[in-house]
Amino acid sequence: MSSLEKQPLKSRAVRIFTREDLATHSNTSSCWISRNGKVYDVTGFLQDHPGGEDLILDHAGKDVGEIMKNPDEHDHSDSAYEMLEEYCIGRLGSEATIVDEDWEATEDFHPDDTDTAADFEKCQFLDLRRPLLRQVWESNWSKSFYLQQIHQPRHVPGSARMFGPDFLEMFTLTKWFVVPTIWLPIAGFLFVRSRPLFNPFSLGDWSLATSPFTLLVIISKLAIQQPKDISIRLLLLPPGLYLCTYAVTFRDYALGGPQYNPWNYGVGLTSFALAMKMVHMSFTRTVPDRIVQFPSIPRKGPITVGEGCRTNGGDFSTAEGLKTEPLKGTLQDIIAYIFDPRCLRYDYKMAKTFRAIETRNTSNRVSFIISTVCRFILHLCLFDLFQTILQILPLPGLGTPKGGSIYNNTFPSPVRYIVSTTAVLSTGAAVYAGLEIGHNIVTLIGVGLLQLDPADHPPIFSKPWVSTSLRDLWSRRWHSVFRNYFAVLGYAVGHRIMGE
């Protein structure tokens, strides 16, 4: 049972159910009962019931008011009723209807104005005398109760009021075609005028280009605070994906010109990551759990990577001692979650994999920073070396912004393939060194400037050149920065369509 369901009913919005809702929860995995119009989820109490769980299951999905005070069965004490209130999750809504289920309107039907006060008192649904939007926003009906009431005909003179303030209400009375007639020409003109005027050093242009991140923060906050309601997030997803695309298509892919290819590559990857995170947070119905305490043991001697899963970051051979807590939805929580693409603080398996390959001393910040600076310098030199190799190879155009082919047909076959293989290996090594440089920079900023935990910045590679199989390479030796993003459109969708 969730913690929400055990809160006192008065501390949150009252959930309204129908008897059909109640009847569907009548087994050991979900056992509901009702008494005096209130609904109780007693699933967690079944095993603790002094008379055994069978006595409750015989009346699961039903009202137990009479049976609980029946002296022939068992007349319950006042403390039993007080204990029952701890499991209250809502109340039964009114079963009153305006018309019968088989009622059909005739051609000469003219509805009478609904007595709004009597209707609200009778059906306990919407008070048509008050603004509707706030009532719907604060409502807590079950689906069946909502469908039961929404199909009951109600008629009021004029339009039902949507907003409280008059200056907002007047916009709801506008004819539908007025909005696109006025705003589409204005929006189109501004869009056409803005594209050729993009300046990569303009603060205004960057505020537009970075707007996907702002929208991602909003979607993530909604996902954490209202995980079961995805409707608003789905409305925000299309403009968010459009902004991600727009951010990388300024002037022919970001800045334009082949000399900006490295920058364009970074902008494209960032926008891809934001888009995938946006898709994931738009559809998720669960709040991520943040790891607040890893399994830990006293450190004994130097760390060796071949030591199984035992490092100075903890003993990951078992999850004993692992503590997690749901994200609270604060801005700090959201930004930390977005900037953790490998989910090292949220996915125990990922943390176990990458913390196990850490060789730096994470318990000493100064030593960790010095080791990271040395790695940064090493990979910077390697990156420059492999770039130089690409530029001095006898392959016209290769290593320049315009590019070229790795094959030179003027060479004999053995030399041609030796040169092309060298080009491919140098390119891969340059990519590897470049990713290491980026990771080292992020690590130095996080640990050195922001004073984050060094253990949260493990390496992204684990000697990929010694991989024994593709599975070994992709699962734990190559970087997994985008693994969760690929899972959004790969595993998650494929699993729903084709199963395991």
Any residues with CB less than 8 A from the CB of 132 and at least 6 apart, and which? 126, 160, 161, 162
**DSSP-based three-state secondary structure for 27:** strand
Beta strands in 37-87 (DSSP E): 38-41
Residue 458 carries which DSSP code?
-
pLDDT above 90 as % of the chain: 3
Distances from the Cα of 235 to the Cα of 52, 103, 162, 189, angstroms: 48, 35, 20, 24
Structure tokens at 357: 């390959």
Q: Is the confidence at residue 174, as pLDDT, over 90?
A: no
**CB neighbours of 112 closer than 8 A, spacing ≥ 6?**
155
The pLDDT assigned to 71 comes to 74
**pLDDT confidence bin for 376, thresholds 50/70/90:** very high
* Contact of 488 with 409, CB cutoff 8 Å: no
The whole-angstrom separation of Cα 376 and Cα 382 is: 10
DSSP 34: E
Give CA–CA dist 226/224, Å, rounded.
Answer: 6
Strand partners, 150: none
Rounded distance between C-alpha atoms, residue 236 and residue 241, angstroms: 9
Phi and psi of 291, rounded to 5°?
Answer: -75, 115
Cβ within 8 Å of residue 355, ≥6 positions away: 294, 311, 313, 314, 316, 344, 455, 458
Please report, for residues 7, 164, 233, 278, the alpha-carbon distance to residue 285 in angstroms, rounded to integers and kept in the order given. 21, 32, 11, 13
**Joined tokens for residue 119:** 């209707």
Which of 381 and 261 is assigned the larger pLDDT?
A: 381
Average of per-residue pLDDT across 283-299: 72
In whole angstroms, what is the distance from residue 53 CA to residue 15 CA? 26
pLDDT at 235 over 50: yes
Q: 322 and 261 in contact (C-beta within 8 Å)?
A: no
Q: Classify residue 316 as exposed, middle or buried by CB count within 10 Å of its CB (0-12, 13-18, 19+).
A: buried
Task: Answer for the pair 375, 233: CB distance below 8 angstroms, yes or no.
Answer: no
Residue 196: per-residue pLDDT? 55
Query: Residue 499 corresponds to which tokens in the numbers above?
Result: 């199963």
Give me the pLDDT at residue 305, please: 35
The type of residue at 394 is P
pLDDT of 322 higher than 80: no
Query: Would you say residue 245 has pLDDT above 90?
Result: no
201 has a pLDDT exceeding 50: no
Determine the Cα–Cα distance for residues 309 and 304; give it in Å rounded to an integer. 10
Residue 434 to residue 383: CA distance in whole angstroms = 6
Distance between CA atoms of 256 and 485, rounded to whole angstroms? 27
pLDDT band at 129 (very low <50, low <70, confident <90, very high): confident
Instruction: Specify burial of residue 402 (Cβ count, 10 A radius: 0-12, 13-18, 19+).
Output: exposed
pLDDT, average across residues 473-489 = 75
DSSP code of residue 448: I
Structure confidence at residue 117 as a pLDDT band (50, 70, 90):
confident
Average pLDDT value for the chain: 76
Helix and strand element counts for the chain (H, E): 20, 9
Whether pTM > 0.85 for this model: the answer is no
The region of weakest confidence among 22-26, 63-67, 458-462, 477-481 is 477-481
